[in-house]
Amino acid sequence: MNAPVLEKSLQQRLAIVDCDIHPDQKSPATLAAYMPERWREHAKTFGLRSRQGLVGQLTHPRMMANGRRADSFPPDGSPAGSDLGFMRKQHLDPNGVEVGMLVALGRNGMEEQNQDFATVLARAVNDWQIEEWVKPEPRLRAGIIVTQENPQEAVAEIERCAPNSSFRQVIISPRTTEPLGRRRYWPIFEAAERAGLPIGLHPAGASGGFPSTGSGWPTYYLQEHYSFETGMQGVLASLVFEGVFERFPKLRVCFIESGFTWVPAVCWRMDKHWERMRKEVPHLTRPPSEYVREHFWFATQPIEEPEHPHHLADMIGWIGWDRLVFSTDYPHWDFDDPRYTFKINLTERQRAMIFRENAKALYGLQ
Amino acid sequence: MARHVVAAVGDIKPGEKKLVTVKGREIGVFNVNGEFFALANRCPHAGGPMCEGYIVPLVAPGKPGEYKLTRNNEFIRCPWHGWEFEIRTGQSWCDPKDLKIRQFKVAVEPGQELVKGPYVAETFQVTVEADYVVIDL
Domains of chain A: which residue ranges? Answer: 16-363
* CA–centroid distance for A22 within its chain: 10
DSSP single-letter state for residue B10: G
Closest residue on chain A to B43 (Cα): A340
* B52–A71 C-beta distance less than 8 A: yes
> Residues of B numbered 53-72 whose beta carbons fall under 8 angstroms of chain A's beta carbons: which are they?
53-54
pLDDT in tens, A124-176: 999 999 999 999 999 999 999 999 999 999 999 999 999 999 999 999 999 99
CB A340 to CB B53 under 8 A?
no
Taking an 8 Å cut-off on Cβ atoms, the answer to whether B79 and A336 are in contact is no
Contacts of A52 (CB under 8 A, 6+ apart): A59, A111, A205, A206, A207, A208, A209
So what CATH class is A16-363? alpha beta
d(CA B131, CA B52): 25
Nearest CA in chain A to B81: A334
Residue in chain B closest to A343 (alpha carbons) equals: B46
Q: Which residues of chain B have a CB within 8 Å of the CB of A340?
A: 46-47
pLDDT category, A206, cuts 50, 70, 90? low
Nearest to A167 by CA among A107, A110, A102: A102
- pLDDT at A297 exceeding the cut of 60: yes
Nearest-neighbour CA in chain B from A338: distance (Å) = 9
Question: Tens digit of pLDDT for each residue in A246-294?
Answer: 999 999 999 999 999 999 999 999 999 999 999 999 999 999 999 999 9
Residues B54, A71: C-beta atoms closer than 8 Å: no
The tens digit of pLDDT for each residue in B50-83 reads 999 999 999 888 888 888 899 999 999 999 999 9
The per-residue pLDDT for B120 is: 81
Q: Minimal CA–CA distance to A52: which of A174, A205, A255, A167?
A: A205
Closest Cβ opposite residue A333 in set B49, B52, B82: B82
Could you list the pLDDT tens digit for every one of the 137 residues in chain B?
788 999 999 999 999 999 999 999 999 999 999 999 999 999 999 899 999 999 999 988 888 888 889 999 999 999 999 999 999 999 999 988 889 999 999 999 998 888 887 878 766 778 888 899 999 88
DSSP state at residue B100: B
Count of A-B CB contacts under 8 Å: 34
Closest-approach residue (CA) in chain A for B50: A71
Q: Do A333 and B53 lie within an 8 Å CB cutoff?
A: no
Mutation pick from A62, A305, A333 vs chain B, by most beta carbons of B within 10 Å, is A333
Are the beta carbons of B132 and B7 closer than 8 angstroms?
A: yes
Query: Å from B86 to nearest chain A CA?
Result: 18
Give pTM, 2 decimals. 0.89
